[in-house]
Amino acid sequence: MSNVLEIKNLTKYYDGFTLDNISLALPQGSIMGFIGENGAGKSTTIKLILNVIHRDRGEVKIFGRDNLIYDSELKQSVGVVYDESNFPESMTPKNINVILRRIYRNWDQQAFFRYLDQFALPADKELKTFSRGMKMKLSIAVALSHQAKLLILDEPTSGLDPVVRDEILDIFLDFIQNEEHSIFLSTHITSDIEKIADYIAFIHQGKIVFVAEKDELLNQYGVLKCGFDDFEKLDRRFVKGFRKNRFGVEALVEKQRFKGHVIDAATIEDIMLFTLRGEKQ
């Protein structure tokens, strides 16, 4: 299986923030969730992938080709959705169709209007009358209407209600049915990732904490609850992080190492929170 997106040692310096040696790879046909708190470097990474900002070091390959050299060529096959609509408010979806027909070589007008229909978006209304959810759906319709093979999505579900979010996730799952299609999705809503992602890349303070298969991650880790005395007896090498409360201790542990204990399934959120905020050792 080849990688549709490969990032190596990507680095960008800002005053007070460094995106530090990011490396990851997204295999074709899969969805990678890119998680981390606000300001962790998710948007910076995505902007670097798209050459919206300039890197200081490192390399990015899309479909195996350098993203600086083949910039425009590669973007014909990449669909992008940011966390907001970027079309002027006075435009209508019909206007957008007229414009993008001249920008994307493979613009599929029929597909675009079909998506508008499917998402219940009026083709003749100006965008200023659209709700946030409608605008996001419009951006997604655009990203899906030029035969993109890779979707790069920067917090596409943030600020949306659970129903719309679920609808949008279904659209992504539908897109991925084609084996040639892949999705790179950044979000801080970990439950979304849990629903659809195959891989998870976790970024914290500009550094990658881990890149792993989601199922492996969820199989590997669990949340162990026990009293203070029992906790002292645990082999700390396999405790990723813990939290003490009035009644005892909750710890994120490698499940296989603690057979015989009561261990709850860990969520992605648990893994994220224990790794970042839990006490160590």
Partner 1 sequence: MIGLLIKDLFALKKQWRVLSVITIIYFVFSVASENLGMFSTVSIMYAVILPVTAMAYDEQCRWDKYALSMPLSRSKIVLSKYLLGILLNLGVCILVCLANLVFVYFWDYDLKDVMATAVGISGAGLVILAVMLPILYQFGVEKARLIMVIIFLAPSLLIIMLPNFELTPSPELLSMLPYVLPLLIVGMLLLSIFVSIRIYQRKEF
Which residue ranges make up the site for partner 1 (CB under 8 A)? 47, 50-54, 71-73, 75-76, 78, 80, 82, 84-91, 95, 98-105, 152
Nearer to partner 1, 102 or 237 (CB): 102
Nearer to partner 1, 79 or 222 (CB): 79
Nearer to partner 1, 86 or 118 (CB): 86
Least Cβ distance, residue 233 to partner 1 (angstroms) = 53
Least Cβ distance, residue 24 to partner 1 (angstroms) = 19
Nearer to partner 1, 105 or 236 (CB): 105
**C-alpha to C-alpha distances, 258 to 73, 200, 202, 219, nearest whole angstrom:** 52, 24, 25, 13
CB within 8 Å of 272: residues ≥ 6 apart:
35, 190, 202
Least Cβ distance, residue 154 to partner 1 (angstroms) = 10
Alpha-carbon gap, residue 187 to 154, rounded angstroms: 7
**C-alpha to C-alpha distances, 146 to 104, 149, 236, 253, nearest whole angstrom:** 6, 9, 51, 45
- Closest Cα to residue 84, out of 158, 173, 186? 158
**C-alpha to C-alpha distances, 250 to 225, 235, 273, nearest whole angstrom:** 5, 14, 12
User: What residues are paired with 184 via a beta bridge?
Assistant: 32, 152
Least Cβ distance, residue 127 to partner 1 (angstroms) = 9
DSSP reduced 3-state for 143: helix
Are the C-beta atoms of residues 189 and 202 closer than 8 Å to each other?
no
Least Cβ distance, residue 139 to partner 1 (angstroms) = 9
